[in-house]
Amino acid sequence: MEKNNLQKENEVQENVIGADRENNTEKASSLSILLEIIKFAILALIIIVPLRMYVASPFIVSGSSMDDTFHNGDYLIVDQISYKFEKPNRGDIIIFKYPKNTSKYFIKRIIGLPGETVQLNGNTTTIKNDMFPGGFVLDEPYISSNMDNNISLTLANDEYFVMGDNRAGSSDSRYWGPLREKFIRGEAFVRLFPLTKIGLHPGSYKYNGDIQI
């Protein structure tokens, strides 16, 4: 009888030890998974945060100032690095801090470049620069609506003249003046939404021949 009781007691002890080992194994496995998750999160932060701050960032179009090129809700990726190596071009679609309130971001098209004179006469945009001191009329097939403007403005060496493609519904350089280069965040690089309009450099327009800058 004592022998049977001793055997049962040993079996109970073995079962307890086995259960402890299983619990310890499960705890070690859970801890290992948790550590992997933490490592992945840290790695993602190391990669994604600088990428978003300095290379590319998302931008959702709000409002109708760029109709019909962009519409409210269009989802874009902004190239924030290219302009560190090259200057913006006429026709580029840029995202920038609104000079009157830098907590807001605007999207517009570059019309005038540093040092140029921009003249708006009715629905006609004329550009004067060193290459064309007499000026040339800008071809603007992207405009969805226009206004009867009468403006002449010469840009400084760090200024751009920007306008929305929906001229009748855009707050731009016609109203608050030239855009200084320091406020430019980057160029619209990719449109991801709507799916039917996915593409690189959405809305960008390159001017023909000798007037392309």
Where residue 101 sits, what CATH number does that domain have? Answer: 2.10.109.10
Task: Give the active site residue among 64, 108, 128, 204.
Answer: 108
Q: Are residues 161 and 196 in the same domain?
A: yes
Active site residue 204: no
Residue 33 binned pLDDT confidence (cut-offs 50, 70, 90):
confident
Q: Where are the beta strands (DSSP E) in 51-182?
A: 56-60, 75-79, 93-97, 105-112, 117-122, 124-128, 136-137, 149-154, 159-163, 179-180
Number of structural domains (the chain) is: 2
Give the domain extent around 30: 1-56
Residue 119's CB is within 10 A of a number of other CB atoms, namely 20
Whether residues 38 and 109 share a domain: the answer is: no
Domain shared by 180 and 113, yes or no: yes
Q: In this predicted model, what pLDDT tens digit does every residue of 193-211 receive, in sequence order?
A: 999 999 999 999 987 644 4
If asked whether residues 93 and 189 sit together in one domain, one would say yes
What is the SS3 assignment for 97-124? ECCCCCCCEEEEEEEECCCCEEEEEECE
> Where is the domain boundary, 56, 76, 102?
56
Q: Is 52 in the same domain as 79?
A: no
Per-residue confidence band for 187, with pLDDT thresholds at 50, 70 and 90: very high
Q: Where are the beta strands (DSSP E) in the chain?
A: 56-60, 75-79, 93-97, 105-112, 117-122, 124-128, 136-137, 149-154, 159-163, 179-180, 184-193, 199-200
Whether 108 sits among the annotated catalytic residues: the reply is: yes
Residues 6+ apart with CB under 8 A from 192: 75, 76, 77, 198
For 71-113, write each residue's pLDDT tens digit: 999 999 999 999 999 999 999 999 999 999 999 999 999 999 9
The Cα-based distances of 50 to 12, 54, 81 in angstroms read 57, 6, 12
User: Residue 28's pLDDT band (boundaries 50, 70, 90)?
Assistant: low
| Identified catalytic residue from 64, 65, 170, 204 | 65
**d(Cα 141, Cα 91) in Å, to the nearest integer?**
11
CA quadruple 13, 19, 25, 31: dihedral positive or negative?
negative
Q: Are 115 and 100 in contact (CB under 8 A)?
A: no
